[in-house]
Structure 1
Amino acid sequence: MAKIRFTPGPITSVLVTTIAVVVPGFLVGGLAVQIGESFPLSPAQLGLAISVYFGVSALASVPAGHLVERYGAGPTARAAILLSAASLLAIGLLAHSALTLTLLLAAGAGANALGQIAGNAALARHVSPGRQGLSFGTKQAAIPLSTLLAGAAVPTVALTLGWRWAFVAAAVLALCALPVVPSAPAVVREPGASSGRATAGLIVVAISATLGSGSANALSTFLVDSTVARGVGPGPAGLALTLGSAVCVVTRVLGGYLADRLPDRQLAVISGQLLLGAGGLALLTVGGNAALLTGVVLGFGLGWAWPGLMNFAVVRLHPQSPAAATSVTQTGVYAGGCLGPLTLGFVATHSGYTTMWLAAASGMLTAAFCMRLGAVLLRRS
């Protein structure tokens, strides 16, 4: 019988799936100003909506992992794309208050969790071991790329046709990804195979991911405002964020490429990245453009370049259940995305940005030690 495979290539399939399922959250952030012209949407309400999005993603990750293991990467990726498109279309047509926007965005969060974990499983099972590091790095690079696409939607659609049409167009484009994702059958796990349950090592790695993600998310959330507060103009501050996003895209792909050359010590490598990233966050408390640029490059380029490497390392250690295993660690990434901006925003409001960046650096430093401990525990188990 002919072997069923992703005809466009698994990496292409996973890339379009990833972009399709993450775009609702980024599009709401990118079009917040235009949305606020239709109904009241304060910064606090926007922050709450994004936090709910990541919180639901965290809660949905483990159940999504079980669904992917049971029904296979192809069918679950298609379901995720359909759910994401439905969320985008519903926001464009039905969102008339901050509450309805938050609820409809939360529906898209389930698509985010399901689609990302389906992508992890597809890469683990359909990409040769010698290219898996690069494939996971490329997949994660699609996420900051989605930020740039959301920004491009402002002048091209939102300012000409209106923000609602931008969501409708995004829904149509998401549906266009369906032909690229095959309807592959479920992969039946062999009796006695590992279930990918939440072992002590996976839990410690997930805690590290929570701390690292929460600290790294402060870069995209607060970098521009904190830089302007230090006396830098809005233009250069925005360029610093653009530089950080570009560096993040490059280092995620490059890190994956290098991971294929050193595949067995990636969690230890991530620990080192987080350590240097913490130094970059601490540099953001120092005055001067040199410290700012160095902090941005280290913070984005190392402190936020590790999610693909983490998925790569986890699936190598759990080859029989990559979706279930990565669903545990992905929960940590989403929990950090939910709790980090809320917690650090509170610190910035009451103690200032200097204290906030030091707190973020401390969180990332702790994440580095937790990742190293998680690596030891996973190797032992």
Structure 2
Amino acid sequence: MSMARRDTARTMLGASGLTVLGSISPFLLGAQAVLMQRDLGFGPARLGVAVSVFFGVAALATILGVGAFTRLGRRVGLVVAGGLVAIGGLLVATVVQGWWALALAMAVLGLANAACQGTANAAVATALPQRRRGLGFGIKQSAVPVAIMFGGLAVPTTTVLLGWRSTFVIIAVVGLVVALVGATRPAPRASATARQDNDPPPDRAPRGPLLLCGAAVTFASAAANFLGAYLASWAHDVGLTVEQAGLLLAVGSASSVLVRIAIGHRADRRYGGNLPVVAGMTLAGAVCLALLGAVPQIWAVLIFGFLAFAVGWSWPGLLLYAVARLGRDAPTQASSVVQAGAFLGGALGPALLGLVVSLLGFAVAWYVASASFVLSAVLVVAARRGFRHDLQTRPPAQPFGYGGGQEQPRYTTRPPDAPM
């Protein structure tokens, strides 16, 4: 394997591993919810709020720190991310004796997630070759269902043997290792491609379509994170054991990993046309969630729960890649808008839908989550129209292919100085 390919593979796997570490905590909480609720004395609504605290802090940190991890570099990012994961994990494992302490620990872990995701996104958007970034974002975002899979597998293994606190000890130890790896990395060399004072100003992505994508991923993430946080509890209510519900999360998450990698690899082989695929997948997720609520049977939970993960929650990497590709000279900042929307949806979804569960029951909550997916698809289509209009009216300096096509793009932007 050549040095370039080895560096590419290392970047992809490192970003994926860092994303798993940052995102696993709320899924450990969801998979072990029955046991943790019994020991700490809280109900479904407070479970949702705890998950929402995690994502809310992550969203706020991402919004306030847009571009911070690009400037600081991977070395500092690894130290900060790993250190915060270690602190948060140890808090849950040793200090938490009630819900308020759990919420505080989840806030620390949410801050750690923002650091993990920011560092990983910066690496994929800037360090990978252009024709490998679709696969890179697919592998990086496959880490989220891997985190759910590990959360599900923890229940019949580590949790049964050592208790739920032991799972947070494990992530704390891994976080400490990541921080140590970052601290011992060689200092980066000065970039030979640093921007000079006389260079033209960077070409930014259009704000309107970018914000539409952020709103779309907020609604989609709200529904998807409700699925990840509550499917195990719903499956248990329908008739599965705690261990069987955990295995359902693991199998569904594994299928989502494969689909995310496959569609990311396919995206690298065409010129755009990614946003319609994202819209179609969110609509498929809407159908699955509606059927989960409509058919409270074990067979329906197994089939539609699996498909909700495999199809309905396999779009995040493709959406991040599409936005980074359309982000022109600021791909990291463009992807940060989407990442912030994902965190915001993760904050709002479990809390609000958890409240719906408490007041109106699971079936209504699944319908509301399904509607959230539908609204996301509409916003993605609107964002696609905005991006295409911007490419036509404000073409980039270098020709840009878009609209799909494999051998050649369906459309190519005109030179900026050409008459319209």
TM superposition score normalised by structure 2: 0.79
Distance of 2:168 and 2:301 partners within structure 1: 35
**Cα distance change on mapping 1:155 and 1:280 into 2, 3 Å:** closer
Residue 320 (structure 1) aligned to one of 318, 329, 338? 329
**Cα distance change on mapping 1:348 and 1:172 into 2, 3 Å:** closer
Task: Give the match's secondary structure for 1:108.
Answer: helix
| Correspondence list, 1:197-346, <5 A | 199-227=207-235, 232-234=239-241, 240-287=248-295, 292=301, 294-346=303-355
Q: Give 1:45 deviation, angstroms.
A: 2.9
Q: Give 1:373 deviation, angstroms.
A: 0.8
State the Cα RMSD in Å. 3.0
The superposition leaves residues 124-183 of structure 1 with CA deviations (integer Å, 9 ceiling, x where unpaired) of: 222222221111111111112122323444455444445444433322222223466545
Distance of 1:310 and 1:69 partners within structure 2: 20
User: Which consecutive residues of structure 2, in runs of 5 or more, have no partner in the other structure?
Assistant: 391-420
Q: Give 1:72 deviation, angstroms.
A: 2.4
The superposition leaves residues 205-241 of structure 1 with CA deviations (integer Å, 9 ceiling, x where unpaired) of: 0111011111222322333444565x55447665544
Amino acid aligned to 1:275: L
Native 8 Å contact 1:133 1:309 kept in 2: yes
Native 8 Å contact 2:142 2:257 kept in 1: yes
**Cα distance change on mapping 1:298 and 1:111 into 2, 3 Å:** same
TM superposition score normalised by structure 1: 0.86
Amino acid aligned to 1:149: F
| Correspondence list, 1:84-233, <5 A | 84-154=85-155, 156-178=157-179, 182=185, 184=188, 188=194, 192-194=201-203, 199-227=207-235, 232-233=239-240
**Cα distance change on mapping 1:221 and 1:8 into 2, 3 Å:** closer
User: Which consecutive residues of structure 1, in runs of 5 or more, have no partner in the other structure?
Assistant: none
Q: Give 1:357 deviation, angstroms.
A: 2.5
Native 8 Å contact 2:153 2:247 kept in 1: no
Q: Name the structure 2 match of 1:78.
A: 79
The superposition leaves residues 25-74 of structure 1 with CA deviations (integer Å, 9 ceiling, x where unpaired) of: 33344444555566434443332211111111111112232312322244
Amino acid aligned to 2:314: A
**Cα distance change on mapping 1:163 and 1:131 into 2, 3 Å:** same
**Cα distance change on mapping 1:185 and 1:117 into 2, 3 Å:** farther
Native 8 Å contact 1:74 1:185 kept in 2: no
Amino acid aligned to 1:252: R
Q: Give 1:8 deviation, angstroms.
A: 7.2
Distance of 2:259 and 2:348 partners within structure 1: 25
Native 8 Å contact 1:71 1:185 kept in 2: no
Q: Give 1:83 deviation, angstroms.
A: 1.5
Q: Name the structure 2 match of 1:40.
A: 41
Task: Give the match's secondary structure for 1:176.
Answer: helix
Deviates more, 1:6-15 or 1:47-56: 6-15
Distance of 2:132 and 2:172 partners within structure 1: 31
**Cα distance change on mapping 1:278 and 1:186 into 2, 3 Å:** farther
Q: Name the structure 2 match of 1:347.
A: 356
**Cα distance change on mapping 1:346 and 1:94 into 2, 3 Å:** closer
